Amino acid sequence: MINNNGLIHLYHNAVDISKAAGDFIKRNASESLKIDYKGRANMVTQIDKQSEQLIRDAISERYPEHQILGEESADKATDSQVKWIVDPVDGTTNFVHNHHMVAVSIGIAIDDEMMIGVVNCPFLNEIFTAIKNQGAYLNGRKIQVSTVNSMENGLFGTGFPYELNDHFYKNMEIFKKIYENSQGVRRGGSAAIDMCYTACGRFDGFWEFDLNPWDIAAGSLIIQEAGGQICNFSGQAFDLYDGEVLATNRNLQKPMLKMINEIL
Ligand code: IPD
Ligand code: CA
Ligand code: CA
């Protein structure tokens, strides 16, 4: 069992580690990048790998027994009830193009329940944080989802899979539908940031197919702690390992589900 003091200790360590990784990314942004391709447009650079190594080393040094699930290397599976879920660079395409929507995303689950979320945006000097049942914060100030209650007054975020698969084309149609019925749709290039932008009211909703747990672990807690709601495209309970995410300010969950399902 981890008590509240233990949770706060974990939280401070997660924030420190996300800052160390963010500083590393920023310091090395002008390095010449070695780019490998995981798919058509799915890039990984040495900075993604080194950022993950830095995070893994820092976690293992402080909590040698904890589990780690990260994008760039094999799982560290142990008997621990604590699992760190890490995206060392969310927004790699942006990073490669010197576009600053880039984040380090660190979520901590205890017995499979998200308890801590940290999304550090090093180029934007913004850090979003949450502890289960203790609210969500941006640079230490409490945040809340928006109160917008009609699609026509909303601004939305989404993202597209790297592969030009069925979900890509379906999402193009959903994009069009939501765009036609709202004030706009943005494609920021970092799912972790998109979720935090929904949490702090810059977006009124966000949806995406085919996301990985490291993209959304931290953001899923931050949005809920900011008063938002998260589910899959059938309106059922959000599952970190299921890929589908609809995150809203609550008011717009129903109309967004309706529009998405008119296409699916
Ligand atoms: C990607 C970003 C992007 C989303 C992709 C993700 P990566 O993560 O979050 O916004 O649309 O689905 O894979 O590859 O930059 O870590
Ligand atoms: Ca990612
Ligand atoms: Ca990544």
Per-residue model confidence (pLDDT) at position 1:
80
Task: Read off the pLDDT of residues 153-209 as tens digits, 9 standing for 90 and up.
Answer: 999 999 999 999 999 999 999 999 999 999 999 999 999 999 999 999 999 999 999
Task: Read off the pLDDT of residues 63-94 as tens digits, 9 standing for 90 and up.
Answer: 999 999 999 999 999 999 999 999 999 999 99
Task: Read off the pLDDT of residues 196-207 as tens digits, 9 standing for 90 and up.
Answer: 999 999 999 999
Q: What is the mean pLDDT of residues 87-102?
A: 98
Q: What is the mean pLDDT of residues 249-260?
A: 98
Quote the ligand 1 centre to 167 CA distance (angstroms). Answer: 14
The tally of CA atoms less than 13 A away on the side-chain side of residue 41 is 11
What is the rounded distance in angstroms from the CA atom of residue 45 to the CA atom of residue 92? 8
Whether 74 and 90 have beta carbons less than 8 Å apart is answered as: no
Q: Pull the structure tokens for residue 166.
A: 């069925």
Quote the ligand 2 centre to 257 CA distance (angstroms). Answer: 24
Domains of the chain, each with CATH number or no CATH = 4-142 (3.30.540.10), 151-263 (3.40.190.80)
Per-residue model confidence (pLDDT) at position 203:
99
What is the rounded distance in angstroms from the CA atom of residue 105 to the CA atom of residue 118? 6
Q: Quick check: CB of 91 below 6 Å from ligand 1?
A: yes
Q: What is the mean pLDDT of residues 130-157?
A: 98
Task: Read off the pLDDT of residues 22-78 as tens digits, 9 standing for 90 and up.
Answer: 999 999 998 899 999 999 899 999 999 999 999 999 999 999 999 999 999 999 999
What is the rounded distance in angstroms from the CA atom of residue 198 to the CA atom of residue 195? 5
Whether 192 and 90 have beta carbons less than 8 Å apart is answered as: yes
Residue with tokens 């004030």: 183
User: How many other CB atoms are there within 10 angstroms of residue 104's CB atom?
Assistant: 31
Per-residue model confidence (pLDDT) at position 202:
98
Per-residue model confidence (pLDDT) at position 109:
98
What is the rounded distance in angstroms from the CA atom of residue 58 to the CA atom of residue 49? 14
Instruction: Give φ, ψ of 189 to 5 degrees.
Output: 95, 5
- Which ligand approaches the C-alpha of residue 88 most closely? 3
Q: Quick check: CB of 52 below 6 Å from ligand 1?
A: no
Atom of ligand 1 nearest to the CA of 90: 16
Testing ligand 1's pocket by substitution, the residue of 45, 174, 190, 210 carrying the most ligand atoms inside 8 A of its CB is 190
